[in-house]
Amino acid sequence: MLDSLDPEERRRLLSVSRRRRFGRNEVVFHEGDPANSLHLVASGHVSIRVAMPDGNSVTVAIVGPGQTFGELALLGKQDRRAATVTALEGCETLSLQKERFDELRLGHPRLDRLLAEILADEVRRLDSRLLEFLYLPADKRVLRRLVSLARTYNNGGPDAVTVPLTQDVIASMAGTSRPTTNQALRAVEEAGVIAIGRSKIQIMDLPGLLRRAR
């Protein structure tokens, strides 16, 4: 995320960030809490959940190392959190307060570009998800979410990628039902592409999964 900054700008930005640690299932912030900081994930993963009118909530994203959440807090008058963020395992973030970011922007205009890049990435992701919901069948959406999660949990090694999430979470992210999600996953499991376990899915053949998700 910080590649667009020069070394001094990165140093200044990190120097005013606060390192925070969260345990498994610990809430980072609740929907409706005051919005006053951006978080950069240093380790671990968090889920982002949004409340629905019927009282239930849906998982809209899983965020991992190198990614951010809460970026809207650095802009305008967005004074309340739009989602609840929870640590899925032991997690560490770098928290950047809006006031400190505004101070840095005065002397480092390139930080505005950094924020614009973060927001542009989020807009592209949302546009892509909207097109999926409009034009792709449910089984393709399930597989695309699994591809995205595989990339989030991939540590760069040669081994198979394990996504430690339930089918309910994947169904929520794909905007479909648990039975439909299970049916889509069983089909690729039979082809040897994935292995379904208890509260986890192991991707054995990521290129094969990519082909089936197209």
- Among 112, 132, 152, residue at a domain's last position: 132
In this structure, the answer to whether residues 187 and 91 fall within a common structural domain is no
In this structure, the answer to whether residues 49 and 118 fall within a common structural domain is yes
Helix (H, G, I), strand (E, B) or coil at 201: strand
In this structure, the answer to whether residues 69 and 16 fall within a common structural domain is yes
d(CA 191, CA 206): 12
In this structure, the answer to whether residues 30 and 91 fall within a common structural domain is yes
Q: For residue 157, what pLDDT is reported?
A: 65
Q: For residue 78, what pLDDT is reported?
A: 66
CB-based contacts of 133: which residues, under 8 Å, 6+ apart? 141, 175
Buried b / exposed e across 116-127, counting CB within 10 Å, b at 16+? Answer: eebeeeeeeeee
In this structure, the answer to whether residues 12 and 60 fall within a common structural domain is yes
In this structure, the answer to whether residues 24 and 126 fall within a common structural domain is yes
In this structure, the answer to whether residues 123 and 190 fall within a common structural domain is no
- Among 92, 111, 132, residue at a domain's last position: 132
Residue 155 · residue 147 · CB < 8 Å: no
Residue 124 · residue 116 · CB < 8 Å: no
pLDDT along the chain (214 residues), means of 10: 80 92 98 94 97 91 94 81 96 94 85 87 91 95 97 80 96 96 98 96 95 94
Q: For residue 9, what pLDDT is reported?
A: 86
Number of domains the chain contains: 2
Classify residue 1: in a domain, yes or no. Answer: no
Q: For residue 86, what pLDDT is reported?
A: 98
Enclosing domain of residue 174:
137-213
The pTM assigned to this predicted structure is 0.90
Q: For residue 76, what pLDDT is reported?
A: 67
Which burial class, exposed, middle or buried, applies to 41 when counting CB atoms under 10 A from its CB (0-12, 13-18, 19+)? buried
